[in-house]
Each structure stands twice: as C-alpha cells, then as structure tokens.
Amino acid sequence: MIDYTEKIPNNIDLGRDRVLQRALEHWQPAYLNWWYDMGPTESHSYDVYLRTAISVEPDGWAQFGYVKMPEYRWGIFLQPRDEKRQVNFGIHKGQPAWQEVPGEYRSILRRIIVTQGDTEPASVEQQKMLGLSCPSLYDLRNIFQVNVEEGRHLWAMVYLLHRYFGRDGREEAESLLARRSGDTDNPRILGAFNEPTPDWLAFYMFTFFTDRDGKFQLCALAESGFDPLSRTCRFMLTEEAHHMFVGETGVGRIIQRTCEVMKENKIDDPSEVRATGVIDLQTIQRYLNFHYSVTLDLYGSDVSSNAANYFTSGLKGRFRETKLEDDHVLTEAQYPVSEIVGDKIVTKDVPALTALNERLRDDYIEEIKDGVGRWQRVIDNAGIPFKLTLPHKGFHRAIGNFAGHFISPEGQVLSEEAWKKREFEWLPSAKDYAYVQSLMSGRVTEPGKFANWIAPPIRGINNQPMNFEYVRFN
C-alpha cells in the first residue's frame, strides 16, 4: 500500500534517503508551477473523478474518487524488486541486474531516460486546450486522467535522474520542465511531440498511435539490465493501457457515429456527410495516415548504431525479450530493412543488431493492424463499403531510410512534384482541420449528453452510469 500522508507518495522508502527526498521536494514546486502553466487550461478548481494508484499489485492499484488535479497524488511507484533478476541480453547477459548505473553506460542511459521523460510533459502540453471543446463529461474526465498519468510518468523518470545521476540528473530534471512542445527555441526532443494536437480526433489518434509507441518503448526499457529503470517502466505500463483504450474507443465511437448518420440518411458523399455535422470517413483516413506516419518516425532510424549499442550494453531490449527464442546477443543474426534504390523500394538483410529500431517498429505495426481491423468492423457492421487502410511504412517519413523520399500510401516512389499534387488526398489539409474544429467550438457539459459527432461509449468509467457527473466545474 502507498502512504498518501507523505508529501511525495512512494514505495521506495524515500524517507530514508534524506538527500534524495530534499532534491525531489525541491523539484516538486517547480513541477506544480509547470502544471499550473502548461496543464489543462482552466481546470485547476474542477473536481475530476480520477483513479489514483494505491498499491503496485496488479489487482488492486486503482482507487476512484473526486480530485482537484493540482492535488493529484503524483508520486514514485516501482514494481517490487526480483532479487534473482539478471541482465537478459547483450554482452553482460547472465550477470545480476544492475542496481546502480554502470559507470561506462552513464551517459547513454541518461540520454534514454531523458528522451523518455521528455515525451510525458510534452503530451500534456499538446493537449492543453482540448478540455474547452470536450464532447462529453466522460471524455473530459478521460483526457484529464491521461494528463495526470503522463505527469506521473514524468515523475517516474525524474526519480531515476535524481536518484542515480547526481548533479547532471538534477539539471536534466529541470530541463524537462523548461522545454515546450512546438517551441522554436526550446522544443521537445522527438518530432511527434512538437506537432499540435488541435482537436479531439487528433487526440484520439494520438492516444491510439503515439501512446502505443510509448507502450512499445516502455516494454523495451522494461527489459533493461538497469533494474530501477525496468521496475519503473513495468509500473508505467499498467497506466499506459488506459490511454490506448481511450484512443481506440474514441476513434471507434467517431466512426460509429459517422456510419450511423450515413446509414440513416443513405449518403456516402463526404460533403453530404459533413453537412450532417459528423466527420466523413475520408477525413478520418487522412488523420490516420498522419498520426501513423509521424509515430513510425519515433522509432528512430531503420539502421542505427545507437540502437545496437543500447542492446549490446544491456540497457534496452526488444519487445518481450525474455520470451524470444534466440541467443539474445544477436552477433550473427540478420534482419530485413527497406531502402530506396532508384525508383524502387528494395529489402535487404542487415545485421540484426543495427536493425533493432526497425524490428520494434515492425512489432508495433502488427499491433496497430489489429486495432485498425477493429475500427473496420464498425464500418463493415454498418454495411458501408469503405476500407480503412494503413499507408505504406515509407509514406510521409522524416526519419530513417525513407526520409527525403516521396512514397505514396500504396508504396510507390514518386517525384516530389507528383507527391505534392496529391498530398491533401492523403493527409489532412487546413480545410479538414478547420472543418473538424468547427464541430468542436464549445464543450458539452450536461451529464449523459454527447456531441453529435461521436457515439456514447458502451459503458461508463468504473461502471458508473452514463449520466454520471464525471467532472464538477465548481
């Protein structure tokens, strides 16, 4: 059980490490200032029906109740230690898992933790304004839950920086509160975290596609030989599942509502569909293309010596590393990656060690396919002949072998001119964004009511009725 009477709730016996406790208590007000400044707009006095972790045990960690978000009990929770755990891959395979940072890997480990940590506040910043246009109290509560948990994930990484990296860790922790999503002078580290999330369709796409990158990266870090990182990520993963649920069901409910309206009115022309105040399936496809492609970039270059180093040193594993049946060293293995030769996409084998980013991206794509298949079923069940498709892996990429090339969603290599001509058949245009945002000009706050462009969920949060007052505005 977690003791919530402490200033910083934790299950790491923080009270016994005065230096660390003081450092974190010093960071805490800076974090709160950041939250007041960059957290959800106008939300500080709302009572929100949130879930809070009360223990790290798998079956009993969630407690629901009304909380004012600035009073949310952000804290430090690690999965319990397994004394027998080893480094399970790379050149240190078989050694006991590290409880302290191995000196020779200090700087790369810090870099991984900082990159991970940086995404968490970034996503809160990206979503800052969305509460003002929520489609229901249910959805408003869900975005707030996602936001406070991203805040906690920042705490998770800041704990590691403070506890294991001394002064430069403390400096990095401060920088995590100083960078800003989309800022020209001091942006967030990774590309997708500087893109705006301007509306709720973008938010649901983000939580479906980009939070799932979070899941896969956390799974890879949960395999780390640096045990505190592994234990932290394992607990973070339990929170991540809800974020992807919000994204998948959010997009699914938008699709469902569109299909209902198309059927009712016997229409399929996008402009007629728009005239009824819902989002046409073509626009949903363009948003999908955008969020999928910018998220694929988050896995880094297809061939990466950084990724090989992370693995060989035992710092970052593969997805489900310990379940894989091979030598976990990969000095001999090969892995296929794509590249462009002339006007063709060709596949060639490269040393598997250098292709670990690509491999994780491929694991991710498999899971994405299933989710998109579930959206497709909503359309099929309505009897509408429309196919949602995942664009080719090389479409609209800015990192890796496809960067600088112009690939169509079907996977043809085009000239820049030919691609640009069709860009807004494939990606949302300013007009698409303007239309989607025109539907979301105000918020729906009556309990049990939903905006016209989205279907209600199947059930409420924590089995509450649909007309439950998930947020009280005071």
Helices 305-312, 106-126: crossing angle, 10 deg rounding: 120
Residue 467: both structure tokens together: 């007309």
Q: Does 223 bind ligand BYC (CB under 6 A)?
A: no
Q: Which stretch binds ligand BYC (CB under 6 A): 14-22, 39-47, 208-216, 227-235?
A: 208-216
Please identify the residue of the shown chain whose CB is closest to the bound ligand BYC. 300
Q: Which stretch binds ligand BYC (CB under 6 A): 171-179, 210-218, 386-394, 426-434?
A: 210-218
The interface mask with ligand BYC, positions 310-329, x = CB under 6 A, is ------x-------------
Q: Does 304 bind ligand BYC (CB under 6 A)?
A: yes
Question: Taking a C-beta distance cutoff of 8 angstroms, is the pair 78, 57 a contact?
Answer: no
Nearer to ligand BYC, 115 or 276 (CB): 115
Helices 356-381, 227-265: crossing angle, 10 deg rounding: 30
Out of 78, 97, 112, 246, point to the residue binding ligand BYC (CB under 6 A): 112
Q: Does 354 bind ligand BYC (CB under 6 A)?
A: no
Buried b (16+ CB within 10 A) or exposed e, 412-445: bbeeeeebeeeeeebbbeeebbebbeebbeebbe
CB of 49 to ligand BYC, least distance (A): 22
Residue 172: both structure tokens together: 């990095």
Out of 43, 52, 357, 408, point to the residue binding ligand BYC (CB under 6 A): 357
CB of 113 to ligand BYC, least distance (A): 8
* Angstrom distance (rounded) from CA 247 to CA 224: 28
Q: Does 232 bind ligand BYC (CB under 6 A)?
A: no
Q: Does 301 bind ligand BYC (CB under 6 A)?
A: yes
Residue with tokens 């403070």: 162
CB of 308 to ligand BYC, least distance (A): 9
Q: Does 115 bind ligand BYC (CB under 6 A)?
A: yes
Listed in sequence order, the residues at least 6 apart from 473 whose beta carbon sits closer than 8 Å to its beta carbon are 46, 445
Out of 101, 190, 278, 284, point to the residue binding ligand BYC (CB under 6 A): 190
Q: Does 233 bind ligand BYC (CB under 6 A)?
A: no
* Angstrom distance (rounded) from CA 72 to CA 120: 16
Q: Does 211 bind ligand BYC (CB under 6 A)?
A: yes
CB of 150 to ligand BYC, least distance (A): 5
Q: Does 293 bind ligand BYC (CB under 6 A)?
A: no
Helix, strand, coil % in the chain, rounded to nearest 5: 55, 10, 40
Out of 125, 149, 150, 223, point to the residue binding ligand BYC (CB under 6 A): 150
CB of 219 to ligand BYC, least distance (A): 10
Exposed / middle / buried, residue 385 (Cβ in 10 Å: 0-12, 13-18, 19+): exposed
Out of 43, 52, 123, 354, point to the residue binding ligand BYC (CB under 6 A): 123
CB of 227 to ligand BYC, least distance (A): 17
CB of 84 to ligand BYC, least distance (A): 27
* Angstrom distance (rounded) from CA 214 to CA 220: 10
Q: Does 250 bind ligand BYC (CB under 6 A)?
A: no
Q: Does 181 bind ligand BYC (CB under 6 A)?
A: no
Exposed / middle / buried, residue 45 (Cβ in 10 Å: 0-12, 13-18, 19+): exposed
Listed in sequence order, the residues at least 6 apart from 118 whose beta carbon sits closer than 8 Å to its beta carbon are 176, 179, 188, 189, 190, 193
Residue with tokens 């990158």: 213
CB of 190 to ligand BYC, least distance (A): 4
* Four-point Cα dihedral 435, 436, 437, 438, nearest 10: 50
Site residues for ligand BYC, window 11-70 (CB under 6 A)?
none
Nearer to ligand BYC, 126 or 256 (CB): 126
DSSP state of 65: E
What letter represents residue 205's amino acid?
A: M
* Angstrom distance (rounded) from CA 469 to CA 303: 50
Nearer to ligand BYC, 312 or 376 (CB): 312
Residues engaged in binding ligand BYC (CB under 6 A): 112, 115-116, 119-120, 123, 150, 190-191, 210-211, 213-214, 217, 297-301, 304, 306-307, 316, 357, 399
